[in-house]
Structure formats: structure tokens, C-alpha cells
């Protein structure tokens, strides 16, 4: 083929449509990834992926050895992204019975992440619930696409990161893993994938395989995945507020190579402190009092760390929680308060309500359940005050609220419309890519939390 003809008719149109802040990877026009057609995932409510633990034979997708064209970073006027901040949320498979995907108001979202597909030891992928998850994912994709919105498949998670290290450790297993991801991408007509490895080079749930070479091998895997997925596919990663750990088991100072293959990373700015007799904030925005025992664990600290290590602000998404932690405690302030700080001014409507004792699962409680059980009451201005014996306080050190009930001896550290509006405003100020809430079914029926994020981004 004439080189000038190839450049004019194949490269230039792709350059004009390329993504901001990430390189453009092209394969020559005669290199085509072939995926055998399979039954449309939307045709059956019992559709299941081809690759499962009990069915180790992967979809025979060809993996090309062709080295991709690597072009300069394209202009910000790309059509792959809009210039507006993105509003996103996770949809966990365990929410299906109480919160079907059709219940999502897609007019309020740009992307939904389906959680989770689980990597197995043999590099295949399975589900938390193989009987329901595939059908839920099919329904989610169908409902989102009908509204012009997009869906990513999140792979891994807190309990699903056991085998990442060994899977990405060799070229053979990396290729097999990419092949299996590509199979699910095509089968379910996805728009991208989210790699939620908790954590490369560092222990997470306690039983994960960990190697000093994890981050280096992770990059090789991501580069291969980027080459094999369609150009339009979005590839993201869920990360901590610190960059990936290097071979010295310290956060890497330069992760710019990851920035060249990932569209964005989600800063999981939550679970900073869990339930404790001496509770701290779940998801600090700032360390305003400069006394936190985890100074690196805030939205602001995460933004600074990742931009210093080579990611652009537009490649960072702030993760925000729709849940909080319930602690059995009689503390009168959160642990990051200065010793001489004045007590917060409480906000409650307890004269009109009876005392309640919260019930919850695994020390976590959704915002909707705080309202449903009576610990919070929605006020006329759209904010929520304490009720049922709970008084709402606002921790100025972390810019997050908390609830305290002396009668039930419970403290709740959480986020509400005020704190989420502040977080979204911060995202807009520093020009991050957007926000992603974990998870979509923790909000109220009126979408109070999501609407507060949208207001902050406006």
C-alpha cells in the first residue's frame, strides 16, 4: 500500500478522533482481531460468559504480536471524551435483588461500572454469583445503551485480587488473561474495563499473592490489553491515594508509563478508617488540621501524589462513598481533631423523633438506610439533619460529617450532600476527570447524593 495513501486515509482520521492525555495505538488495517460470534448476551436472561472456572477453555481470540503505532499525545479537542466532568457509579452484582439495573436514572450518569468479574488462578474469569451476574450485566448494558450511556466491567475488587500477581507474571498468562477479558468485552458489548487490583506490590485482603515485580508486570499486562481492545474501549484502574508500589515496596515516583495506557485512574478515597471505638473519617477530603495519622489518605493528598508521579489531572477520578461506618463508641470527636479544637455544633431534630439503634451489615451502612432507619431526616433545603437520638456534626479537619447517639452508643462516619458537594467542587477546581460513587444503590430514591455531586461539578 502506498505510504502517503495510508497516512491520509487511515491515520489522519484516527488522529482527529484520538483521546486526550493518552497515546493513540493503531494496528495496520490488515491486522484484525477475530472473535468467533457467540450468542448475544442480551438474548437470554440466563446468558453466561464463555470463560469460567469450571470451563477453563478460553474463547479462541487471536492475540496479535504486532507492535502498535505510538503517536504523540493528541489535542484536548478529542471526540473520545467530552470536556464536561464525568458522573459515574459502581453497580455491584449483590444489589440486583433489591435494586435492579433498570431502576438507575441514567440521565444522572455518564458511566456505570459493573462489579465484579473475578480473576481465577488459571487466568479465567468468574463471577461472585454465576447464576445471576451475567444476566444482570446484560440488563445493565441494555438499559444504559438505550439511554446513550456506557458500561465498564470492573475486574477484581477487595476479595477478588488474590491471583492478579501470578496472572500478570508471565507473558503466557498475561496473554490468556487479555484474551479472556476481550471475550467478555465482546460478548456483553461493553464500552471498557476497569482493573481493580487491590493492590499491586502490596497486600490487600490478606490472602493475595504479592511480588516486588507486580507493578512492572501490571504495566506489561495493561500495554497488551490496550493493544488488543478496540481503540474506543476505555481502560481504567481503581487505585489508592498513593501511586503503585515499586520493587522497593514504596510508592513509585514516576508512573507516567501507566498514564500512557490508562484513560484514567479512580482514587479510592474511602475506607480510610473503619469501625473503631476511636473512629476517624471514612473519606477525608482534606487534612485541614495537619494532624492525621494517615496524612496521605485524603482526596487532596491523592491528587497531589498522582499528579506529581506523572498523571494529568484529567486522568484522575475521585471515588466517593455512598456508605459509612458504624462504630460502637461514645467518642465526642473524630480522631483527626486537634486536641484543643472546639466541639462541632450539632444539628438534630430529636425532639420530634424517638431514639433509634441502627442495624447494619459488616459495620457498614448505606446513606439510604441512615434515612430509612431514622438517623437522618431530610430538611426543606435538601440537606439532612440528625434525628432518632443522633446528632449530626461536621468535622472541619476532614470536611466530612458524622453522627453521634449517646443513647445507642453509636457513631457513624459517612458522607452527605454537603460533603459530596464540596468534593465535587474540588474535582472541578483542580480539573479532575470526574467522580465515581461506590455504589449506586446507596443513594436515596430521590438521588440526593448524586444530585449534590452534579451541583458541585456544575
Q: 257 and 337 share a domain?
A: no
Instruction: Tell me whether residue 199 is in a domain.
Output: yes
Instruction: Tell me whether residue 300 is in a domain.
Output: no
Instruction: Tell me whether residue 457 is in a domain.
Output: no
What is the per-residue pLDDT for 80?
55
Q: 169 and 262 share a domain?
A: yes
For the record, the C-alpha cell of 458 comes out as 456544575
pTM, to two decimals = 0.83
Q: 263 and 330 share a domain?
A: no
Instruction: Tell me whether residue 248 is in a domain.
Output: yes
| Residue keyed to cell 469460567 | 52
Instruction: Tell me whether residue 9 is in a domain.
Output: no
- Total structural domains within the chain: 2
CA distance 272 to 222: 27
Q: 228, 252, 268 — which closes off a domain?
A: 268
Q: What is the CATH number of the domain that holds 132?
A: 3.20.20.80
Among 85, 87, 109, 111, which Cα is nearest to 431's?
A: 85
Q: 256 and 167 share a domain?
A: yes
What is the per-residue pLDDT for 141?
98
Q: 231 and 134 share a domain?
A: yes
Q: 191 and 98 share a domain?
A: yes
Q: 262 and 354 share a domain?
A: no
Q: 336 and 243 share a domain?
A: no
Instruction: Tell me whether residue 82 is in a domain.
Output: yes
Q: 359 and 235 share a domain?
A: no
Domain interval for residue 348:
326-414
Among 154, 233, 225, which Cα is nearest to 192's?
A: 233
Instruction: Reply yes or no: is the peptide bond before residue 344 cis, omega within 30 of 0.
Output: no
Among 151, 226, 237, 222, which Cα is nearest to 191's?
A: 151
Instruction: Tell me whether residue 274 is in a domain.
Output: no
Q: 220, 241, 268 — which closes off a domain?
A: 268
CA distance 318 to 433: 8
Q: 330 and 264 share a domain?
A: no
Instruction: Tell me whether residue 210 is in a domain.
Output: yes
For the residues of 235-276, what is the DSSP string, one character each?
EEEEE-SSPPB-TTSSB-S--HHHHTT-SEEEE----SS-S-
Q: 337 and 228 share a domain?
A: no
Q: Are 337 and 289 in contact (CB under 8 A)?
A: yes
Under-70 pLDDT residues of the chain: 1-82, 336-346, 349-353
Q: 382, 399, 414 — which closes off a domain?
A: 414
What is the per-residue pLDDT for 62?
47
What is the per-residue pLDDT for 117?
98
Q: 116 and 262 share a domain?
A: yes
Amino acid at each position: 500500500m502506498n505510504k502517503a495513501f495510508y497516512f491520509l486515509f487511515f491515520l489522519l482520521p484516527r488522529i482527529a478522533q484520538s483521546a486526550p492525555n493518552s497515546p493513540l495505538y493503531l494496528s495496520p488495517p490488515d491486522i484484525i482481531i477475530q472473535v468467533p460470534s457467540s450468542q448475544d448476551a442480551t438474548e437470554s436472561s440466563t446468558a453466561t460468559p464463555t470463560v469460567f472456572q469450571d470451563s477453563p477453555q478460553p474463547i479462541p481470540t487471536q492475540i496479535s504480536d504486532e507492535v502498535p503505532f505510538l503517536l504523540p499525545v493528541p489535542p484536548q479537542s478529542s471526540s473520545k471524551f467530552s470536556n464536561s466532568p464525568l458522573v459515574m457509579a459502581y453497580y455491584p452484582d449483590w444489589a440486583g435483588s433489591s435494586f435492579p439495573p433498570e431502576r438507575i436514572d441514567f440521565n444522572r450518569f455518564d458511566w456505570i461500572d459493573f462489579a465484579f468479574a473475578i480473576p481465577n488462578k488459571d487466568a479465567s474469569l468468574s463471577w461472585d454469583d454465576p447464576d445471576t451476574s451475567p444476566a444482570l450485566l446484560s440488563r445493565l448494558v441494555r438499559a444504559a445503551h438505550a439511554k446513550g450511556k456506557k458500561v465498564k466491567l470492573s475486574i477484581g475488587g477487595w476479595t477478588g485480587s488474590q491471583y492478579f500477581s501470578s496472572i500478570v507474571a508471565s507473558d503466557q498468562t498475561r496473554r490468556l488473561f487479555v484474551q479472556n477479558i476481550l471475550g467478555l468485552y465482546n460478548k456483553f458489548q461493553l464500552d471498557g474495563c476497569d482493573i481493580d487490583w487491590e493492590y499491586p506490590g502490596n497486600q490487600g485482603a490478606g490472602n493475595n499473592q504479592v511480588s516486588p515485580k507486580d507493578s512492572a508486570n501490571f504495566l506489561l499486562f495493561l500495554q497488551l490489553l490496550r493493544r488488543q481492545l478496540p481503540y474506543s474501549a476505555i481502560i481504567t484502574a481503581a487505585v489508592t491515594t498513593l501511586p503503585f508500589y515499586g520493587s522497593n515496596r514504596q510508592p513509585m515516583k514516576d508512573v507516567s508509563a501507566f498514564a500512557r495506557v490508562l484513560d484514567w485512574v479512580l482514587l479510592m478515597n474511602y475506607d480510610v478508617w473503619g469501625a473503631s471505638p476511636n473512629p476517624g473519617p471514612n473519606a477525608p477530603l482534606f487534612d485541614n488540621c495537619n494532624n492525621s495519622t494517615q496524612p496521605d489518605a485524603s482526596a487532596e493528598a491523592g491528587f497531589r501524589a498522582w499528579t506529581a508521579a506523572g498523571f494529568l489531572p484529567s486522568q484522575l477520578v475521585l471515588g466517593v462513598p455512598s456508605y459509612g461506618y458504624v462504630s460502637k463508641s461514645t467518642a465526642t470527636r473524630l480522631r483527626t481533631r486537634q486536641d484543643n479544637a472546639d466541639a462541632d455544633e450539632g444539628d438534630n431534630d430529636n425532639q420530634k423523633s424517638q431514639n433509634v439503634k441502627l442495624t447494619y451489615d459488616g459495620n457498614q451502612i448505606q446513606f439510604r438506610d441512615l434515612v430509612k432507619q431514622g438517623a437522618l431526616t431530610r430538611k426543606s433545603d435538601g440537606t439532612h439533619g440528625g434525628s432518632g437520638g443522633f446528632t449530626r456534626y461536621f468535622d472541619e479537619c476532614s470536611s466530612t460529617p458524622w453522627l453521634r447517639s449517646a443513647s445507642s452508643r453509636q457513631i457513624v462516619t459517612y458522607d452527605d450532600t454537603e460533603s459530596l458537594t464540596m468534593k465535587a467542587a474540588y474535582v472541578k477546581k483542580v480539573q479532575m476527570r470526574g467522580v465515581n460513587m461506590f455504589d449506586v444503590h446507596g443513594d436515596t430514591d430521590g438521588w440526593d447524593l448524586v444530585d449534590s455531586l452534579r451541583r458541585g461539578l456544575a
